[in-house]
Amino acid sequence: MSGHGTALPMIAHPSGPLQGVAEVPGDKSISHRALILGALSVGETRITGLLEGQDVLDTARAMRAFGAEVTQHGAGEWSVHGVGVGGFAEPDKVIDCGNSGTGVRLIMGAMATTDITATFTGDASLNKRPMGRVTEPLALFGAQAVGRRGGRLPLTLTGAAQPVPVRYSLPMPSAQVKSAVLLAGLNAPGETVVIEAEPTRDHTERMLRGFGATLEVGQAGDGRVITLVGQPELRGQVVAVPRDPSSAAFPVCAALMVPDSDILVPGVSQNPTRNGIFLTLQEMSADLVMENPRTEGGEPVADLRVRFSALRGIEVPPERAASMIDEYPVLAALAATAEGRTVMRGIKELRVKESDRIDAMARGLEACGVRVEETEDSLTVHGMARVPGGASVRTHLDHRIAMSFLCLGLAAKAPIRVDDGSPIATSFPVFERLMAALGASIAREDGTAASG
């Protein structure tokens, strides 16, 4: 699994209407943060709805290695007894974050201002991804990193013995970098300031406040200014994790593509820093209604009612990219079934995700008979009445590439195969079971049963 094990080829066959209720798992971003902030708190944090995907399980294991007590009580129900800000112990083994960029970058931030040393590694995908974007700002606090060329993992980080607070303007829109700096700022005396030109997901800010930190968000000429007062005493909290909009996007887009589908996806986060995909789908004429809007666990949520729709291609506003950055792969798949072309610009960050997602989607769509154009920071997909399919697609250890093509296979003329569906377990371990319950025909080619 997640690049350490054997590949799992999977295939999606054209399917009849998708119908029923799709209860997608807890939000991955919030799940990582609940474990990390729980570990940095004093007392007990109780979490419900935690995503039990491999990425988050790897973070749970890492928090134990840094000295926190992390216990599973039931499905999605976990507790963390933390060690307090600055209380991380030095791990005696290498920290393996598997496939998870969020895990490794946030954990590096969380330890960077404590006088300990830790070595981090990951799978073949994670070990290719840039870490300099995190180690450079962490060096400003006084932390020292030695990694492979280009700052790649495996990497050893020694936290600052006498950290100083930092003022840092993000050079790219990245919630992971923002969060790494804020988590490092927790154990620095004085105020740590992060400035982001484009707003990215704000779970760290919301949760830091919830755990008792003093954090202010203001607006200045150069963007959103986040000021954190260092060395707070964080206190354990009760965290109810809402369902993940990034996972919801798969059944939602599948239902939009497969004729006569009608599904309900309840309790999905509608945090405005995450809901760009739903606005985009509505602009494409999707029959997508947010029912019963409410607040759960401090996050806005709604039930999504989705019916098959005749979609039309659009130009996705580039300023929306950060609020739907993980949804471009499934949007590109969906765009192949829309009338006209869909233009996605300002998406350069997709090139450094679990795979180069612009390239992976472009090559996969071409193999399925779809016309695409790409530039360094854009992808254009030319929709067609019925996608030919009948291809085998390379997923490059990327869960979202695998799920996007399996969803497209449900609506194509001929089946679509992916070379490796095993990374789906990193973020959406119940994907196969959930899709099968809706009526989707997705199978493993090695004959093993679906997990989850």
The C-alpha atoms of residue 94 and residue 155 are separated, in whole angstroms, by 10
The C-alpha atoms of residue 101 and residue 114 are separated, in whole angstroms, by 21
269 binds ligand S3P (CB under 6 A): no
CB of 390 to ligand S3P, least distance (A): 31
Letter for the amino acid at 253? Answer: C
175 binds ligand S3P (CB under 6 A): yes
Question: How many Cα atoms sit within 13 Å of 371 on the Cβ side?
Answer: 8
Pair 119, 144: CB distance under 8 Å = no
179 binds ligand S3P (CB under 6 A): yes
Pure H helices in 161-201 = 175-185
Report 245-264 residues binding ligand S3P (CB under 6 A): none
Q: Given 55, 326, 398, 420, which residue is catalytic? A: 326
Pair 111, 161: CB distance under 8 Å = no
For residue 188, which of 132, 131, 120, 115 has the smallest C-alpha distance? 115
Q: Is 175 exposed, middle or buried (0-12, 13-18, 19+ CB in 10 A)?
A: buried
Here's the x/- map for ligand S3P, 287-326, by CB under 6 A: it reads as --------------------------------------xx
Span from 14-22, 160-168, 170-178, 329-337 in contact with ligand S3P (CB under 6 A): 170-178
The smaller minimum CB distance to ligand S3P, of residues 316 and 368, is found at: 316
The C-alpha atoms of residue 246 and residue 170 are separated, in whole angstroms, by 23
- Element of type H or E holding 210: helix 203-210
Span from 134-142, 169-177, 247-255, 442-450 in contact with ligand S3P (CB under 6 A): 169-177
Pair 375, 343: CB distance under 8 Å = no
CB of 170 to ligand S3P, least distance (A): 9
Report 13-32 residues binding ligand S3P (CB under 6 A): 29
Q: How far is CA 51 from the centre of its chain?
A: 11
CB of 103 to ligand S3P, least distance (A): 9
Spatial strand order of the sheet with 299-307 comes to: 19-21, 262-269, 299-307, 287-296
CB of 100 to ligand S3P, least distance (A): 9
Please give the size of the binding site for ligand S3P, defined by CB under 6 A: 11
Query: Binding residue for ligand S3P (CB under 6 A) from 41, 45, 127, 174?
Result: 174
The smaller minimum CB distance to ligand S3P, of residues 357 and 394, is found at: 357
Here's the x/- map for ligand S3P, 49-88, by CB under 6 A: it reads as ----------------------------------------
Q: How far is CA 367 from the centre of its chain?
A: 26
How many of the other CB atoms lie within 10 Å of CB of 397? 22
CB of 176 to ligand S3P, least distance (A): 3
Q: Residue 130: helix, strand or coil by DSSP?
A: coil
For residue 247, which of 446, 16, 429 has the smallest C-alpha distance? 429
Report 89-108 residues binding ligand S3P (CB under 6 A): 102
CB of 111 to ligand S3P, least distance (A): 17
Span from 82-90, 171-179, 181-189, 413-421 in contact with ligand S3P (CB under 6 A): 171-179
Q: Write out the two tokens for 128.
A: 């290719």
Residue with tokens 């004429």: 285
326 assigned to active site: yes
Query: Binding residue for ligand S3P (CB under 6 A) from 58, 205, 349, 398?
Result: 349
Span from 89-97, 174-182, 305-313, 438-446 in contact with ligand S3P (CB under 6 A): 174-182
CB of 140 to ligand S3P, least distance (A): 18
Residues that are catalytic: 326
| Residues of the shown chain interacting with ligand S3P in the complex, contacts defined by CB under 6 A | 29, 102, 174-176, 179, 201, 325-326, 349, 353
